[in-house]
Amino acid sequence: MISVPNLRLPSNGSNSPIRILLFSCLVLTLAACAGLKKAPDSRSGRGEPDTPVLEEIEGKKKNDDRVDGELVFEEEAREKENPENEEGREENIPEMPEEDPDVAPGSPSESVTYLDPGRSFELAVMLPFLGDRLDPASLSIDERALPALHFFRGMEIALDSIRQNSAFPDMNIRIYDTEANPATVYRMLSEDTLLSTADVIIGPLRPVNLEMVATIASARNQVVISPFSANSDFAAENPRFFQITPSLDAHCGEITRHIRQSWQPGQVALICRDKEAETERLALFHAANKRYSAPEDTSSFHEYIIPDTSDVYIGLDFRPLLDDSVRVFVVPSWSNRAFVYAVLRLLSSQITEEDGPVTVYGMPQWLDFDISSYEYFEKLNVHLTVPVWSDPFSPESIAFSNEYFKRYATFPTRESWLGYDMTWYLARLTAMAGLNIPLKMPLTPLDGLSTGFMFEAVSDQSDDGPEASPTIRHYANKRLYLLEFENYRFVPAHDE
């Protein structure tokens, strides 16, 4: 069984103040006790860990252009954080199986370490539930806590199903409210002995908190799974760090792969503002194009860079590109909706029947654009890459949505689907590989109801020469869904 009580957390805008009050008490209790159930006092195969001493860190300045909890890559305006944490002592945990020289690097050997009888799988969830920001007067929940809340709701539904199947091991789940505060995370890592013995840590959300947790967890040989952030530059030589949200590089690569199935580079134009963060993205598309081109092929995508002033948007002229046989426009922009709208509106108005069909590739944030843009989406055959997507008409999706609404009086969000699928993914890996899920995850691709898992190593080439084995920094999920707008709704795009 799984030691998580059947919590009934309130939905946003619930008309029941009693349910909101109960949730308020729950979150505040979680901050105090850091768990939903006391863990066993003795754990087979582990000794009592030493608590590492952490240095003080500084928080990260808020980026107003980014919404907390967004299942997309980080915004370009990002502060650099360098928390200096002392290395913790390595715990006495079961040894990983030795590598077989005949097995590919990272492949699990036959002698995997399974959970000992009576030993539960320890899972910690560290997310910003923001219990410290609840308004006692209105009993309202801070909207910035909703991504974490929806994520846990999806986990809860999955856990209720998993606990009914004896094929899965016991899972002891503990919930930690990070309060989106580095000082709170620092205190948890320093003082909470139960957190220090978790097998897997999910979260946190903010990059500064995620870096702190990943650094200390690496020293303790704990697995860290980042469900939301796509920024993992800090994860140096940490093969136990897994990034769920695909990076911008993965999005650019998937878009380019799909483009090159039907079009030549000369038929493609990359459009962006004359802003460093956006022009740098063009290099990702050019690099991906080379991967899908023959060595002797030097043709490349067109570039159309627009001055970063709103007054020039009304004068954008795409006719020279259209007359030059360009039929695919890639717009890797999301933070400035006015710019994206201007591109779509003007391109739509300048296309003639003689030009034939035109296709526009955009970013996942476009899914949240106003419905007024759907006319342009339809005419321009807009394609998007997204990390989470479910067919709303499939029986499985309908069943999940109905169960979610029955429990929480609201519909699931992208975070809900991700929480559900990731919980099932971990349960299956644990049943197959016990404590060796770091070895199993890179070799076990799986598609859930809405989220795919296909991890690849992010590596750095060794300084010992080109023949030396690269150093694995971390593992990143590469699975994306490519959608196209058809009949006023997004559907899976067809590969040619």
DSSP-assigned letters across all residues of 442-468: GG--EE-SSBEE-EEEEEE--TT-TTS
User: Is residue 104 pLDDT above 60, yes or no?
Assistant: no
**How many folded domains does the chain comprise?**
2
Q: Give the least confident one: 229-243, 336-350, 404-418.
A: 229-243
**Alpha carbon 342 to chain centroid, angstroms:** 29
User: Is residue 95 pLDDT above 70, yes or no?
Assistant: no
* pLDDT tens digit sequence for 46-83: 333 333 333 333 333 333 333 333 455 554 434 333 33
Confidence of residue 6 (pLDDT cuts 50, 70, 90): very low
Q: What does pLDDT average to over the chain?
A: 78
What number is the average pLDDT over the span 351-377?
89
Q: Identify which has the larger pLDDT, 474 or 259.
A: 259
Residue 8 within any structural domain of the chain: no
Q: Identify the domain containing residue 38 by its residue range.
A: 17-246+395-479
- 139 and 52 in a common domain: yes
Q: Give the least confident one: 101-105, 304-308, 358-362.
A: 101-105
User: Is residue 89 pLDDT above 80, yes or no?
Assistant: no
Predicted confidence at residue 408, as pLDDT, reads 95
User: Is residue 414 pLDDT above 90, yes or no?
Assistant: yes
Of 318, 353, 386, the domain-final residue: 386
- 376 and 241 in a common domain: no
| Residue from 321, 365, 316 nearest 339 by CA | 316
User: Is residue 92 pLDDT above 70, yes or no?
Assistant: no
- 210 and 127 in a common domain: yes
DSSP 8-state symbol, 68: T
Predicted confidence at residue 396, as pLDDT, reads 94
Residue 60 within any structural domain of the chain: yes
Confidence of residue 2 (pLDDT cuts 50, 70, 90): very low
Residue 490 within any structural domain of the chain: no
Q: Identify which has the larger pLDDT, 73 or 151.
A: 151
- 364 and 416 in a common domain: no
- 225 and 139 in a common domain: yes
| Residue from 55, 217, 30, 20 nearest 127 by CA | 30
- 418 and 311 in a common domain: no
User: Is residue 486 pLDDT above 80, yes or no?
Assistant: yes
Cα within 13 Å of Cα(416), Cβ side? 19
| Residue from 431, 432, 445 nearest 480 by CA | 445
Residue 399 makes CB contacts below 8 A (sequence gap 6+) with none
Of 327, 354, 386, the domain-final residue: 386
Of 332, 366, 386, the domain-final residue: 386
Predicted confidence at residue 169, as pLDDT, reads 83
Confidence of residue 167 (pLDDT cuts 50, 70, 90): confident
Percent of residues, the chain, with pLDDT higher than 90? 52
| Residue from 22, 26, 28 nearest 139 by CA | 22
Confidence of residue 381 (pLDDT cuts 50, 70, 90): very high
Confidence of residue 8 (pLDDT cuts 50, 70, 90): very low
Predicted confidence at residue 352, as pLDDT, reads 92
Residue 1 within any structural domain of the chain: no
User: CB–CB of 60/208 below 8 Å?
Assistant: yes
Residue 33 within any structural domain of the chain: yes
What number is the average pLDDT over the span 416-437?
91
- 230 and 328 in a common domain: no
- 207 and 100 in a common domain: yes
Helix (H), strand (E) at residue 477: strand 471-477
User: CATH number, domain at 372?
Assistant: 3.40.50.2300
- Kindly report the backbone phi and psi dihedral angles of residue 485, in degrees, each rounded to the nearest multiple of 5, phi listed first: -90, 115
Kindly report the CA angle at 401 between 398 and 403, in degrees rounded to 5? 105
| Residue from 292, 238, 258, 290 nearest 476 by CA | 238
Residue 28 within any structural domain of the chain: yes
- 183 and 77 in a common domain: yes
- 445 and 372 in a common domain: no
Predicted confidence at residue 3, as pLDDT, reads 42
Q: Identify which has the larger pLDDT, 42 or 164.
A: 164
- 122 and 55 in a common domain: yes
- 185 and 38 in a common domain: yes
Predicted confidence at residue 496, as pLDDT, reads 56
User: Is residue 18 pLDDT above 90, yes or no?
Assistant: no
Predicted confidence at residue 58, as pLDDT, reads 34
* pLDDT tens digit sequence for 297-349: 889 999 999 988 766 677 789 999 999 999 999 999 998 888 999 999 999 99
Residue 233 makes CB contacts below 8 A (sequence gap 6+) with none
Residue 142 within any structural domain of the chain: yes
Q: Identify which has the larger pLDDT, 409 or 22.
A: 409
CA dihedral 21, 27, 33, 38 (to 10 degrees): 90
* pLDDT tens digit sequence for 187-202: 999 999 999 999 999 9
